[in-house]
């Protein structure tokens, strides 16, 4: 049995469509209270997890492969093989803030984000010194309350930004979901994993 870790929510919906189209599963993986689902017909076990936990389950071999956004890999995904771009979960990581907000001269910009590693790397590579403030949710609040000048966050439709009077100022990276695998598992279950990749590639192309 192949074990796949996958995030709940919108990514699960898009992954279901892709896996059915690719002939990997016959019925949708249903999201509910149960977090481990065994598909006896297709011989696959699904672990439904938080996105940031998917790389951990794969890294420690609890799951053979995982489906997760590139944003999560950039922040938490060291020591894993990235096998392919699934072309689902499309969005971007951007710097956002109030349209008229600027830093006072000599003031260090404060950046609120759920992605401190991504933000730090980006500003460091630009040669810009900033203060990173780690938040776990609703980062849009930070510039509204004066906690930060800007935020670094995922943007999809931009609706949440607009509703909170914020705008997208600068794009850092385009994001999509990737198929990842534990390095040891890739060698141990190479045949079945390559078969999975081939089917997904056909599904993405089709």
Is residue 105 scored above 80 in pLDDT?
A: no
**Mean local confidence (pLDDT), 53-61:** 95
For residue 157, what pLDDT is reported?
Answer: 92
Is residue 191 scored above 80 in pLDDT?
A: yes
Question: pTM, whole model, 2 decimals?
Answer: 0.91
Is residue 204 scored above 80 in pLDDT?
A: yes
For residue 181, what pLDDT is reported?
Answer: 97
Domains of the chain: 2-89+176-205 (3.40.190.10), 91-174 (3.40.190.10)
Is residue 206 scored above 90 in pLDDT?
A: no
SS3 labels along 91-158: EEEEEEECCCCCCCCCCCCEEEECCHHHHHHHHHHCCCCCEEEECCCCCCHHHHHCCCCEEEEEECCC
Which residue is it, tokens 């930060």?
A: 148
For residue 193, what pLDDT is reported?
Answer: 96
For residue 100, what pLDDT is reported?
Answer: 81
For residue 77, what pLDDT is reported?
Answer: 80
Return d(Cα 50, Cα 206) in angstroms, integer: 29
For residue 5, what pLDDT is reported?
Answer: 98
**Which neighbouring-strand residues pair with 97?**
150, 167
For residue 84, what pLDDT is reported?
Answer: 97
- 69 and 89 in contact (C-beta within 8 Å)? yes
Percent over 90 (pLDDT), the chain: 89
- 111 and 130 in contact (C-beta within 8 Å)? yes
**Mean local confidence (pLDDT), 7-30:** 95
39-43, 94-98, 151-155, 195-199: least confidently modelled range:
39-43
Return d(Cα 14, Cα 88) in angstroms, integer: 6
The sign of the dihedral angle between the CA atoms of 114, 120, 126, 128 is positive
Do β-strands 150-155 and 65-69 pair in parallel, antiparallel, or remain unpaired?
Answer: unpaired
Q: Give the pLDDT band of residue 180 (cuts 50, 70, 90).
A: very high
**Mean local confidence (pLDDT), 131-148:** 95
């Amino acid at each position: 049995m192949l074990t796949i870790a996958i995030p709940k929510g919108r990514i699960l919906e898009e992954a279901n469509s892709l896996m059915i189209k690719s002939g990997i599963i016959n019925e949708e993986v249903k999201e509910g209270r149960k977090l481990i689902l065994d598909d006896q017909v297709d011989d696959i076990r699904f672990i439904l997890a938080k996105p940031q936990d998917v790389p951990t389950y794969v890294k420690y071999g609890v799951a053979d492969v995982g489906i997760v956004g590139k944003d999560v890999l950039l922040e938490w995904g060291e020591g894993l093989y990235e096998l392919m771009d699934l072309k689902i979960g499309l969005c971007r990581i951007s710097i956002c803030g109030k349209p008229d907000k600027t830093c006072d001269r000599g003031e260090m910009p404060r950046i609120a984000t759920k992605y401190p590693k991504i933000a730090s790397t980006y500003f460091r590579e630009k040669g810009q010194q900033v203060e990173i403030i780690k938040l776990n949710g609703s980062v849009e609040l930070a510039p509204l309350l004066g906690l930060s000048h800007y935020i670094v966050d995922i943007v999809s439709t931009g609706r949440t930004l607009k509703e909170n009077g914020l705008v997208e100022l600068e794009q850092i990276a385009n994001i999509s979901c990737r198929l990842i695998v534990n390095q040891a598992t890739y060698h141990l279950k190479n045949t079945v994993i390559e078969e999975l990749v081939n089917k997904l590639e056909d599904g993405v192309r089709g």
